[in-house]
Amino acid sequence: MKENFFVKIETIHLPDRGTTENAHGLPPEELARRDVVDIDIANDNEFLHAGDITPATIPSKFVSSKTGRGPLTENWQETVEPVMCAYKLVSVHFKWFGLQKMVESYTHTQYPRLFSKFHREVFCWIDKWHGLTMEDIRAIEAKAQKELEEQRKTGTVSIIFYISLFLFFRFCMQTYKTIFMERMVVVERRIFYRRYF
């Protein structure tokens, strides 16, 4: 089963508004099969469930006390500065006769929600991480990793929480001066997401 199932996430950050068509250098046959889905983190109704939205994580209402960024208004993707784009490439492969299409389709429906929820939180929590040094982030990451390992051993933490925390710290280390624009790219059977911030 190990060689028949994988999920791989690759990210490239570029100083643009999502205008690079092939940031990951996909071959022409994969480019021809892709679908591009834009994710607007300021849109509460796009991919999120009602339980995903909390008053503390609504980018269209949030204003950072440290940076002055926010709220993200209707045309924020064209007007905000500074801006960068994170091109997210997620490959999903599940090769199991009878279940492949169903599992890959289900996975495809979950990534927009996961990415949207996660980046809304990153934006709205900017006052918690803006100004941290790399050493600060690494210390927090090490502490969180230790605590999560203890929770994992006792079975008190979900894998989604662990992945979200890991992605949050990686994101902070790479993009702590950015505003977000997201786009996903889907290629049949293997699902590729290219996310623009």
In the three-class reduction of DSSP (H, G, I as helix; E, B as strand; rest coil), residue 161 is classed as helix
Give me the chain's average pLDDT, please.
77
- Number of other CB atoms surrounding residue 37 within 10 Å: 18
Q: Which residue has the higher pLDDT, 106 or 29?
A: 29
Question: What integer pLDDT is reported at residue 190 of this predicted model?
Answer: 35
The burial class, CB within 10 Å (0-12 / 13-18 / 19+), for 133 is exposed
Q: Which residue has the higher pLDDT, 34 or 193?
A: 34
Mean pLDDT (whole number) for 43-54: 89
Checking if the pLDDT of 188 tops 60, the result is no
The correct CATH number of 2-128+176-186 out of 1.10.287.3510, 3.30.530.20, 3.10.129.10, 3.40.50.1820 is 3.30.530.20
Checking if the pLDDT of 187 tops 50, the result is no
Q: Which residue has the higher pLDDT, 165 or 115?
A: 115
User: What confidence tier does 71 reach under pLDDT thresholds 50, 70, 90?
Assistant: very high
Q: Can you tell me the distance from the alpha carbon of 179 to that of 38, in angstroms, rounded to the nearest whole number?
A: 15
CA dihedral 69, 71, 74, 75 (to 10 degrees): -10
Domain ranges of the chain: 2-128+176-186, 132-175
Q: Can you tell me the distance from the alpha carbon of 89 to that of 9, in angstroms, rounded to the nearest whole number?
A: 6
Decide: 51 and 164 in contact? Cβ < 8 Å.
Answer: no
